[in-house]
Structure 1
Amino acid sequence: MFTRRAALVGAAALASAPLVIRAAGAEEAPAQAAAAAPADLSSLPRVKHKLVVPPFAHAHEQVATGSPVINEFEMRIVEKEVQLDEDAWMQAMTFDGSIPGPLMIVHEGDYVELTLVNPAENTMPHNIDFHAATGALGGGGLTLINPGEQVVLRFKATRAGTFVYHCAPGGPMIPWHVVSGMAGCIMVLPREGLTDAQGKPVRYDRLYYIGESDHYVPKDADGTYRRYADPSEGYEDMVAVMDTLTPSHIVFNGAVGALTGDKAMKANVGERVLFIHSQPNRDSRPHLIGGHGDLVWETGKFHNPPQRDLETWFIRGGSAGAALYEFLQPGVYAYVNHNLIEAVHKGATAHVLVEGAWNNDLMEQLVAPTSVAG
């Protein structure tokens, strides 16, 4: 039997994999940096942000109001059990306690200064790899920290768009940490804000961040999902499921139904909503049933012209995209991964509750359902 003690011993062995990165990456990078003059950013103003739980985003300006700033963020790494569905739990590893991790928003040319904290009660080393950053494994080579440590990383946001961030502690730990919940998104807005394909300014009234994630929960012989005391205890069982490339769950924002019912996203007729959608591991096909992508930055990069009027768009694994839609009719809209098996059977479904007046010019029921003779 795979005991808790054996699991912790195994975790210690696994930790040697990320520590190789600390030796070959995090120690080499400072040695290289020592030969360069430190950047003097003392004249730049600082803006401290309080991160919020997705699908919501922290307060921000859509258009930069001045010269570049240093944006200060703090995230704590939280290892905890989460409930994926009525009958399924997972020992999760998270940024700030949520799946996905919080959305961070800055402007192109700004600096991101992140204090990453790995509390002593955690059991694993962790780090963060920003797809938006340049150098040192996206920051992963400079941020590897053991339980009881914290680190501060600063990078310049040189490219506008939506970008995934995730934990990447080395070797087999990388996919395990990612599918255990350690991924999120940063949005780097152009300083002038968003524009359409003709360069005209575009604004949004609401923003929602949908983090899609795939999970691999082992089952007993009778089909019951297994439950573990801590992340390391279920490692070998979970990797066996991961290696089948068949997720047990594919969900939005950390659980089946996390964005449905009384937790549905909300909007009003006439409002423009920007949907940010990330998937750190697998391809996805977002679709808004009853609506469209008025403007879609499918690859999430805002200096590329957006596509118009899409029915379904494509999010590559390891990336994030953005879609803007102005709601024209009230009702409950389903926002789904249009691999409908994944949406219906695995959990990749969200709802948007839209209030306002119905427009019969756009859609009208001309004859209500009646019985058919014969």
Structure 2
Amino acid sequence: MKNFRLGILATSMSLLWAGGAMAATPVDQLERIQPKLLPPPFVMEHDQVAKGEPKVVEFTLTIEEKKVVIDEDNDTTLQAMTFNGTLPGPTMVVHEGDYVELTLINPTESVLEHNIDFHAATGALGGASLTTIQPGEEVVLRFKADRPGTFIYHCAPEGMVPWHVVSGMSGTIMVLPRDGLKDGQGNPLTYDKVYTIGEMDLYIPTDEDGEYKDYDTLMESYGDTLEVMRTLLPSHIVFNGKVGALSGDGALKANVGDNVLFIHSSANRDTRPHLIGGHGDYVWETGKFNNAPEVDLETWFIRGGSAGAALYKFKQPGVYAYVNHNLIEAFEKGASGHVVVEGDWDDDLMKQVSAPGPIKSK
């Protein structure tokens, strides 16, 4: 009878393990890691398939309130609020079942309270109510990454959420499935490079002559900025915090044959990413990896307050434009960038059959 009961217990335990109902190790005994966060468009080093048990992944974000130049050609500035000094904040990567343990620091030189709302988290306003800190304070928040996908995080202080978000305080966290990305048939998908693109709508006040105003302090800019925000008409719509951030020396790089994953976030407004000359081989428009990706898209839709992901294998060299395909927003407001691809040209995919010349009379 004793052996029979032990057998029943073992079978029950196996079923619990198989169903994921029981953690293998208590959270306070899990391995802890401290990966290095990178400034966008770059993404921290990570495994595409999880190794071993879930981990506690420790991150630190330091709030920085500072003036930034958002358009060098016109010397246009923004009194910004940032995570780790960048617009957007750095992209974090964990695996489903991992625990995110964030230390949020609000330095003494700040003038405002701040917090963080993780769209990937469950409970307490995404952590916002548990992370509100004044200048000179820090706080530690832990949450379980219990669903895979790409998710926004942003600052969300009571009564001031829009101002903090459109002043730069947003970023992305990617929660990968433990066994990696899959296509619609369950086949593995991998990437050679990954870039993060944070699309941001900015609201810079102008003076009576129509020139963009420059402010000495964050609080000095508040009233005028609020007026512009309430028009719902952004002065700039940019990738990664400034006009031209992803062109010239900042252009994204790839080689022919590379599978590149583009993580695109927009904390406030809807957008329509498009890769001119390429496609979305596999696209998770809503960013949620439990859903099968759409395939072969020309343009995809990212809802305001979300992040999506698109995977594309480059087949031709050249300069590709990556744009918001509201082309007015791309070419007039700044929502565009470039991907520079090296490699050999394939005439079978595209070829100029004859060079431009005079019209031949018939």
Q: Does the alignment reach a TM-score above 0.5? A: yes
Shift of residue 272 of structure 1? Answer: 0.1
- State the match for 2:355 in structure 1: 368
Look up the SS of the partner of 1:219 in the other structure: coil
Please tell me the residue identity of whatever aligns with 2:65: E
Cα displacement (A) at 1:138: 0.1
Aligned residue number for residue 137 of structure 1:
125
> Counterparts in 2 of 1:180-259, with a 5 A limit?
180-259=167-246
| Pick aligned residue for 2:48 from 47, 56, 62 | 62
Task: Report 1:1-374 matches (<5 A).
Answer: 41-85=27-71, 86-87=73-74, 88-171=76-159, 173-372=160-359
* 1:253-293 CA-partner distances (Å, limit 9, x unpaired): 00000000111000000000000000000000000000000
Aligned residue pair count: 335
Identity of aligned pairs, percent?
A: 66
Aligned to 2:6: none
Counterpart of 1:346, as a letter, is: K
State how far apart, in whole Å, the 2-side matches of 1:290 and 1:224 are.
36
Structure 2 residue aligned with 1:8: none
**Could you give the per-residue CA deviations for residues 189-233 of structure 1, whole angstroms, max 9, x where no partner exists?**
000000001100010000000000000000001011001112111
Runs of 4+ in 1 over 3 A off after TM superposition: none
Q: Tell me how far apart the structure 2 counterparts of residues 138 and 227 of structure 1 sit (CA, whole Å).
A: 34
Quote the Cα distance in structure 1 between the aligned partners of 2:330 and 2:182.
31
State the 1:170 CA deviation: 1.0
Rounded Cα–Cα distance in structure 1 between residues aligned with 2:226 and 2:100: 34
Over alpha carbons, which structure has the higher Rg?
2
TM-score by length of structure 2 reads 0.91
Q: Secondary structure at the match of 1:237?
A: helix
Partner Cα distance (1:189, 1:41) in 2: 19
TM-score normalized by the length of structure 1: 0.89
Q: CA separation in 1, counterparts of 2:354 and 2:85?
A: 50
> What whole-Å deviation, never above 9, does each CA across 1:133-185 have from its counterpart, x for those lacking one?
000100000000011000000000001000000000011x1000000000000
Deviation, 1:373, is 6.2
Counterpart residue identity of residue 197, structure 2: I
SS in structure 1 of the partner of residue 220 of structure 2: helix
Give the distance between the partners of 2:43 and 2:296, measured in 1 at CA.
Answer: 25
The alignment partner of 1:278 has SS state of strand
Alpha-carbon distance, 1:372 to partner: 2.8
* SS of alignment partner, residue 241 of structure 1: helix
Residues 271-325 of structure 1: CA distance to partner in whole angstroms, max 9, x if unpaired? 0000000000000000000000000000000010000000000000000000000
Q: In 2, Cα distance between the equivalents of 1:308 and 1:212?
A: 23
Provide the C-alpha distance between the structure 1 equivalents of 2:158 and 2:29, rounded to a whole number of angstroms: 36
* Structure 2 residue runs without a partner (length 5+): 1-24
Counterpart position of 2:11: none
- 1:49 CA displacement: 1.4
Secondary structure of the corresponding residue to residue 194 of structure 2: strand
Aligned-residue offset at 1:40:
5.1
Once the two structures are TM-superposed, the CA of residue 371 in structure 1 deviates from its matched residue by: 2.3
Secondary structure at 2:29 match in 1: coil
